[in-house]
Amino acid sequence: MTRDFLNLRSYGYKDLNHWMEKQTYMAVGLTMMAAAELGVDATPLEGFDPTSVDKTFKIRETGHSTTVLMALGYPDPAKVYTTPISRFETDQLFTFV
């Protein structure tokens, strides 16, 4: 059944990589929620070079490839974050109707 499903995604819909990325993000979301329960901050990271990450950590040798990275850590209690994180003003991001 699994082989048939993967064949359908690979050859029928031709969206196997896209489907696998969706599955990865479901796991990332659950991991982020679990981290929050433990008081750990988490954020997904995109915009990286997956080939260099795979090479550095020898990911391809395991038969896998990198689709997303996640940073985990504790906030610095000495820093007080009072400004919004967004790089743009609200009126540049939203259109109110």
Q: Which residue has the higher pLDDT, 3 or 38?
A: 38
H/E segment holding residue 44 = strand 41-45
pLDDT of residue 65: 87
33-62: b (≥16 Cβ within 10 Å) or e: eebeeeeeebeeeeeeeeeeebeeeeeeee
Residue 1: which pLDDT band, with cuts at 50, 70 and 90? Answer: confident
pLDDT of residue 84: 65
> Does position 82 have pLDDT exceeding 80, yes or no?
no
Q: Are strands 69-73 and 41-45 parallel, antiparallel or unpaired?
A: antiparallel
Question: Mean pLDDT across the stretch 39-64?
Answer: 93
With a pLDDT cut of 70, the percent of the chain lying above it is 97
